[in-house]
Amino acid sequence: MEKQVATFAAGCFWCSEAIFKELKGVESVMPGYAGGTIPNPNYDQVSSGQTGHAEAIQITFDPKVISYKDLLNVFWSTHDPTTMNRQGPDTGTQYRSVIFYHDDGQKRLAENSKKEAQKLFKDPIVTQITPFAQFYPAENYHQDYFAKNPDAPYCQLVINPKLTHFREKFKDLTKW
């Protein structure tokens, strides 16, 4: 089986990238933009909330090592899928929760996992499950942001606590 691709939006792409990069079987995680109407958007355009794009990550993974279902479990557990257009301090449509499926198999797994995940939340899950159309990589300064800026206030206050929770919950799936 060859490599596969998953595309998720779960709030700030710096957080998602830092988390998914730690998983066994994940070969790359690219922060970028997906789900909008403007071709080749930049960060300022997406941040305006006028492009329809969400901050997203595109994951290349080896399904012999980690399954799409495992990626979905991490997705549901590392952000709040019940808040509309918001994750923590980040607000706007660019921070919405979306699973962009690449084929019917991913769509089916995403829909089933959403039903299972709903049992874990008191409020309704608002995550969209939508067909993948296009992904635009973010600017270079967004790539590996957490690794390059671990002492930045956002990294300390937002990403570090998410990583700690993730590492405790998914220690069997991490590279370390």
pLDDT tens digits along 83-107: 999 998 889 999 999 999 999 999 9
Q: What is the pLDDT, as a whole number, of residue 88?
A: 85
Q: What is the pLDDT, as a whole number, of residue 105?
A: 98
Q: What percent of the chain has pLDDT over 70?
A: 99
Distance CA 11, CA 39 (A): 21
**Contact of 15 with 162, CB cutoff 8 Å:** yes
The CATH code belonging to domain 4-169 is 3.30.1060.10
Q: What is the pLDDT, as a whole number, of residue 176?
A: 80
pLDDT tens digits along 56-83: 999 999 999 999 999 999 999 999 999 9
Domain map (residue ranges) of the chain: 4-169
- Does the structure show a pLDDT above 80 at 1? no
From 10, 12, 46, 98, the catalytic residue: 12
Max CA distance (Å), the chain = 41
Q: Is 15 among the residues known to form the active site?
A: no
pLDDT tens digits along 125-173: 999 999 999 999 999 999 999 999 999 999 999 999 999 999 999 999 9
Residue 11 gets the label, from left (phi > 0), alpha (psi -120 to 50) or beta, of left
pTM of the model: 0.96
Q: State mean pLDDT over 15-34.
A: 98
Distance CA 94, CA 56 (A): 9
